[in-house]
Amino acid sequence: MEILKQKFETLIITLSSENRQELKTRFENLVSVYPFNEYEFIISTLLGLRKITLDDYYQIRDEYLDRNMFLYIFEISAPRVFGEQWAQGHLKELVPKLQRPNRIIDPDYSGQYDFILEINEQKIRIEVKASRAVDFDDNIPLYVKALSFNSSKRFDMNFQQVKPDCCDVFVWVAVWRDQIRYWILSSDEVKSNKYYSKGQHRGSQGEGQLHIQNDNISEFDNFLVSSDELQTKIIDAFKRQQQIGTK
């Protein structure tokens, strides 16, 4: 959004003083009702004053869409819908072999994890955690304070209700307005991580949380994976977990 504002400010400066004043006056008295908002007003004004062409508008629009490809995900207001419906559905699209667990597949299943991946008669229990990068220092709506990956602003992505004893592998999904990133860790790698805090809620057993922030995100680079290698890296993390268990 900052880039779009700067673009318009640069164009507005090129207007005549009379047109700038008229735009300012109208803008101060502007009433925004969806879909007629401040940006629609500025664009239509610039088009009317012939400061931009229709092709210029198309370019501004395309560039904005490229920078905000995943902004729609920040419009999901309910955390449960974002975490359970969007994130899990997104991961299932990327790794079709993931299965929803049930008592037939796992007689001990009672909602402890999200997916099972069966490989060579082994069942890998997978927990999915998701978060979104937003400006930590602002209380405006999520879709307004959503950050781009290269933003210098502070963020705090809190992966909550983490239960390492209930799964074999964790898949963390992090969303910025212009990209999505994935980390894959074995359950013991989460449990032993220095940023993992036990006892998220009073009386909770085996449950904690982990914060990925702007000042520690680089420390998780070893677990960062691309979307096309998710299945392979899940298996690799499971193998690491098995090796730890045999020591």
How sure is the predictor about 72, in pLDDT bands with cuts at 50, 70 and 90?
A: very high
Please report which residue ranges of 84-168 form alpha helices under DSSP H. 88-94, 142-145
Is 176:70 a contact under the CB 8 Å cutoff? yes
Which residues are registered as beta bridge partners of 126? 115, 169
Is residue 54 domain-shared with residue 174, that is, in the same domain?
A: no
Model pLDDT for residues 36-47, shown as the tens digit of each residue: 788 899 999 999
**Cis peptide bond N-terminal to 101, omega within 30:** no
Q: Structurally, how many domains does the chain consist of?
A: 2
Q: What is the pLDDT of residues 225-241, one digit of tens each?
A: 999 999 999 999 999 99
Q: What is the CATH number of the domain that holds 174?
A: 3.40.1350.10
The pLDDT of residue 245 is above 70: no
Within 8 A by CB and 6+ apart from 48, the residues are none
pLDDT at res. 210:
94
Both 37 and 116 in one domain: the answer is no
Confidence of residue 171 (pLDDT cuts 50, 70, 90): very high
pLDDT, tens digit, 9 for 90 and up, residues 1-32: 678 888 888 888 899 999 989 888 888 888 88
Residues 59 and 108 in one domain: no
pTM of the model: 0.83
pLDDT tens digits for 185-216?
999 999 999 999 986 555 456 789 999 999 99
Quick one: which of 34, 33, 61, 66 has its CA closest to 46?
A: 61
Q: Does any domain span residue 72?
A: no
